Amino acid sequence: MRFTVAQWSPEYGTPTELDDTTGRVEVGVEVPPGEWHGLVPDVDPATDVLFIDGVRRVDANLWIEQAEGRPVLGLAATYAAGAVRSNGAAEIVAAKVERGLFTSAPASDIVTTCGTYAVKATSGQTPEELWLGIQQRMGELEGAVAADQGGATLVVADGPLSHHRHAEGAIHRVVGYVKREHVEYLPSELWDVKYGLGVGRRTPLFLTTTSWSRYSWYVRLATGAGPAEGLVRCEVSGDMDIAAAVRLADRVTATLPRFASAPHKDPRAPENLYPIAGLERELRRRLGDRDVLYRALRRAAVQAA
pLDDT tens-digit map of 28-75: 999 999 999 999 999 999 999 999 999 999 999 999 998 887 899 999
pLDDT digits 0-9 by tens, 116-130: 999 999 988 899 999
| Percentage of the chain exceeding pLDDT 70 | 90
Spatial CB neighbours of 191, under 8 Å, sequence gap ≥ 6:
none
Is the pLDDT higher at 182 or at 287? 287
pLDDT value at 193 more than 60? yes
How confident is the model at residue 219, as a pLDDT?
Answer: 97
How confident is the model at residue 59, as a pLDDT?
Answer: 97
| Mean local confidence (pLDDT), 212-223 | 93
pLDDT value at 192 more than 70? yes
How confident is the model at residue 69, as a pLDDT?
Answer: 79
What's the pLDDT band for 10 if we cut at 50, 70, 90?
low
Helix (H, G, I), strand (E, B) or coil at 262: coil
How confident is the model at residue 5, as a pLDDT?
Answer: 64
Of 266, 189, 186, the residue nearest 233 (C-alpha): 186
| Percentage of the chain exceeding pLDDT 90 | 69
Between CA 117 and CA 8 the distance in angstroms is: 20
Spatial CB neighbours of 53, under 8 Å, sequence gap ≥ 6:
81, 82, 84, 142, 157, 158, 159, 276, 279, 280, 283
How confident is the model at residue 220, as a pLDDT?
Answer: 96
Residue ranges covered by each domain of the chain: 3-304
**Position 17, amino acid:** E
Between CA 91 and CA 266 the distance in angstroms is: 19
φ and ψ of 209, to 5 deg: -125, 120
DSSP-assigned letter for residue 165: G
pTM of the complete model: 0.89
CA distances to 62, 70, 79, 130 from 13, in Å: 12, 19, 17, 12
pLDDT value at 266 more than 60? yes
Of 175, 206, 180, 209, the residue nearest 193 (C-alpha): 206
Helix (H, G, I), strand (E, B) or coil at 21: coil
The whole-chain average pLDDT of the chain stands at 89
